[in-house]
Structure 1
Amino acid sequence: MQDTAPTPARRIDDILDWLRMEGTSGVGPRTAHLLLAAFGSPRAVFQASHAALAAHVKPAVARSLCEPPSADILRLAEATLAWAGQAGNHLLALGDTAYPEALANIPDPPLLLYIKGRLELLARPGLAIVGSRNATVQGKANAAAFAAALSQNGVCVVSGLALGIDAAAHEGALRGPGSTIAVVGTGADLSYPVRNRALSERIAIEGAIVSEYALGTAPMAGNFPRRNRIISGLSSGVLVVEAAAQSGSLITARVAAEQGREVFALPGSIHAPLAKGCHKLIRDGARLVETVGEVLESLRISPLAAMPAASTTPVPTETECTQLLAQLGHDAFDVDSLLAQTGMSVGQLSMGLLALELAGMIERLPGGKVQRVFQ
């Protein structure tokens, strides 16, 4: 896979045109795409006459498009140009060479994408992993294990940087070369939620933060369901790990299906509230999966030549994680000692330790050792 074409250099008038398009009263996503189809570019839209514009939009909207940019838009354009000029920051407009093709082909692609981090990840095969914010320890372990195995096979894991399943998926994906993309519902210059600030900062270096929202956009409730179409749009499929019956993750799954993406779900206990959403998806046609190999096979994603074959290692159960924790005691252990002591395979032990680390029950020490955290 070759790297994506470099992000184009932006001029203030170019950025201003796109921001004016997004900020004009009465111009929503549908109208913006209609205008772009008719005139070809934001610059051509703002150079058009009132009569030409009124042939495509309501007269009041045409009048708004003919007005000069506001002082607020001018200031935002200057701030955006400065942000895009910083190392690691990228601004892509719909139609740019580097704009991800899969996302451009959804019904309502974002006009602008703000990317902080590794731009080339947007062109990699991706799988979205989403689920409950109030996930169980087992759910987070499953998300992290699947994400780590996918990333080891060259798949970029896409999620929404929320607490719970999203955060665990990002953490797991950072352990492999596939890395991760976090699609956020705020400006790309903000960190939300605050509890994930350290994770967000790490993703901005090792992965990529992606947003369609202007810089400084605060976390508003309506932003998050809308950003879900980008999570699925950047992905070949969506895996739902844990979800209640009315979970927001089901919105992502629904949008993914509408975009022609495949939907996968992990099964759970019939008594577990956070399994009900997954079971509903399976009843509605989502594919039940138990291993990463099943996901890769279904999506026809070939592992990287240099990477190991798709993982079929079972995710450790909560009981096995508890037994592993009991083995640790008060002393620090290296992995070789734990392998001998527990009888686990390397894959099982790695996933078990990852689950315990995500749960805050162990910490990793220099020299590859781990130690139990007593609270």
Structure 2
Amino acid sequence: MTDPQRQEFWASLCLKHAPGLGPRTSKKILERFGCAAKAVERARSWHDLGLASSTQVQAFLAESWRKNAEEELATAEDKGIAVLPWPDARYPERLREIPDPPVFLYAVGDLGLLDNPGVAMVGSRDSTRYGIELAHRIATDLSGTGVTVVSGLAYGIDREAHMGGLTGPGSSIAVMGTGPDLIYPASNRDIWRELSEKGLILSEFPPGTKPLASNFPLRNRIISGLSLGVLVVEATTKSGSLITARLAMEQGREVFAVPGPVSLPSYRGCHEIINKGAKLVHGAEEILVELKPQLEAFLANRGLPRPIARLTPAPEQARLLPGASPASRAPKRSKTPRADSGQPAAPAKPKRVSKGQRLLAAEGILPLTPSPLNEATPPPVTGSSPSAPTTSTPFETDVAGHLAAMGATHIDSLCRVFGRDASEMSRTMVVLELKGVVRRLPGGYYLTA
């Protein structure tokens, strides 16, 4: 970390460990000052500005938070895990919108995924075979269109959601209820490793934090906060997944649920939230269609600059830095350069992000207004027919024209004709199917609609 980055991280820890300063109050303070370093520097003004009570200000100035903050700082620097503070441009804008966002996040993996539209998938740990297969299929289909699958790295539905998400360009984000370096349950070690290489792992808890029961409801608000919508795949009436669904409703997110056999107790939670307003869905296509306005707005705003505070050394805040603590030592070289947010290569793997943009925008899953990333997207056309397909790219037009001329054609044959791999061709067919240009037949055949 650079000196300004270290100061910002330290100031964030001061806010996090200050008695009486919860996430809601911290959000007001951060929104007012733009970054934790400036906020801490002007802590005496919080009460006059209406940001905190006099009791909260006095407690903060007493610095009872110092010991815990120093310990977390030392642990984080020793592990070399990337930190995503509030003023960082990569801090997800969706997460800023919720009432109680984390002051900062620990991150391992591809931070570029935070710039993708996301859909959360949650469900029971003790899931049925039906739920497992359904979760994997829906996650695979969502990721195939460039949507990032967000879940909590639990066993059961969460695991399958991550596995399905990792198969496609949208990939997957895991939000942990432990420290980012502690794998729970241990049986998910293989998924954790794959997420650290091809996906992203996030946590607001310091490295080494054990799986305390109280941590998981806190984690759930981040899962829903990162997402445009939340899908409950399988859940009992007492499932923690319903907490995520409730939080999503409170945050203004769309909530979806899969209907299951009425005789199975593991689906009664799904039926319950459907009765309360969750949208009943059977697959990824219905989710994408339902989220069309949110996806359109998300992608339209994605390239716009955001007013992010610039990190500069703050003399008063520097005085608060622990004198003999790790904060005052020379910067350490990260043990894992890929997770060091201070390095120039931090926005890792841009190809995945740009591919997700192309799949959702330039390839026409949404009709967008011109933007820096998509300057030639045509307006939507209704009433499509084989002779006038509603396509947005030359490749889509060629595929639609080929099907109109040749009739029902197997996807393998389309791959050979156009020289594309199966995954790319499959994504294109999903896009064309959603737009009503083609329809899918049994056995992998496609025909113009």
Structures share a fold, TM > 0.5?
yes
Shift of 1:142: 0.5
Instruction: Verify: 1:273 aligned to 2:255, yes or no.
Output: no
Shift of 1:110: 1.1
| C-alpha distance in structure 2 between counterparts of 1:210 and 1:8, whole Å | 22
Shift of 1:9: 8.2
Instruction: Verify: 1:29 aligned to 2:23, yes or no.
Output: yes
Shift of 1:146: 0.6
| C-alpha distance in structure 1 between counterparts of 2:277 and 2:58, whole Å | 47
Tell me the equivalent position of 1:145: 137
Report the identity percentage: 42
| C-alpha distance in structure 1 between counterparts of 2:35 and 2:240, whole Å | 34
Deviations along 1:18-55, whole A, 9 cap, x unmatched? 111101122211222233345543333433365x3454
**What amino acid sits opposite 1:78 in the alignment?**
A
| C-alpha distance in structure 2 between counterparts of 1:312 and 1:266, whole Å | 24
- Other structure's SS at 2:429 match: coil
**What amino acid sits opposite 1:100 in the alignment?**
P
Deviations along 1:55-90, whole A, 9 cap, x unmatched? 453444323322356344224223323544xxxx43
Shift of 1:123: 1.1
Deviations along 1:171-190, whole A, 9 cap, x unmatched? 11111111100011111121
Tell me the equivalent position of 2:284: 292
Note the 1:79-98 alignment, pairs <5 A: 79-84=75-80, 89-98=81-90
Tell me the equivalent position of 1:4: none
Instruction: Verify: 1:125 aligned to 2:148, yes or no.
Output: no
Deviations along 1:194-250, whole A, 9 cap, x unmatched? 121221111111100011122222211111111111111111111111111121111
On the 8 A contact 2:123/2:241 being kept in 1, the answer is yes
**What amino acid sits opposite 2:57 in the alignment?**
A
Q: 1:275 to 1:99 in 2, by over 3 A?
A: same
Note the 1:317-328 alignment, pairs <5 A: none
| C-alpha distance in structure 2 between counterparts of 1:111 and 1:31, whole Å | 10
On the 8 A contact 2:124/2:241 being kept in 1, the answer is yes
On the 8 A contact 1:11/1:81 being kept in 2, the answer is no
Deviations along 1:232-271, whole A, 9 cap, x unmatched? 1111111111111121111111111111111111111111
- Other structure's SS at 2:234 match: coil
| C-alpha distance in structure 2 between counterparts of 1:217 and 1:288, whole Å | 37
Q: 1:183 to 1:49 in 2, by over 3 A?
A: closer
Residue among 86, 100, 106 paired with 1:108: 100
Note the 1:120-199 alignment, pairs <5 A: 120-199=112-191
Tell me the equivalent position of 1:46: 40
Structure with greater contact order relative to length (CA < 8 Å, sep ≥ 6): 2
| C-alpha distance in structure 2 between counterparts of 1:58 and 1:281, whole Å | 38
**Structure 1 vs Structure 2 CA RMSD:** 2.5
**What amino acid sits opposite 1:66 in the alignment?**
L
Q: TM-score, normalised by structure 1?
A: 0.75
Shift of 1:118: 0.6
- Other structure's SS at 2:107 match: strand
Residue among 47, 55, 74 paired with 1:78: 74
Note the 1:228-239 alignment, pairs <5 A: 228-239=220-231
- Other structure's SS at 2:230 match: strand
**What amino acid sits opposite 1:281 in the alignment?**
I
**What amino acid sits opposite 2:118 in the alignment?**
G
- Other structure's SS at 1:27 match: coil
**What amino acid sits opposite 2:430 in the alignment?**
A
Structure 1, gaps ≥5 residues long: 1-6, 314-343, 348-375
In the alignment of these two chains, the number of paired residues is 306
Q: 1:10 to 1:211 in 2, by over 3 A?
A: farther
On the 8 A contact 2:17/2:68 being kept in 1, the answer is no
On the 8 A contact 2:30/2:86 being kept in 1, the answer is no
Tell me the equivalent position of 1:217: 209
| C-alpha distance in structure 2 between counterparts of 1:221 and 1:312, whole Å | 45
Q: TM-score, normalised by structure 2?
A: 0.63
Q: 1:192 to 1:311 in 2, by over 3 A?
A: farther
* Between 298-307 and 210-219, the greater mean CA deviation after superposition: 298-307
Deviations along 1:132-180, whole A, 9 cap, x unmatched? 0100011111000110111111111000001110001111111111110
**What amino acid sits opposite 2:93 in the alignment?**
E
On the 8 A contact 1:242/1:277 being kept in 2, the answer is yes
- Other structure's SS at 1:76 match: helix
| C-alpha distance in structure 2 between counterparts of 1:290 and 1:76, whole Å | 44
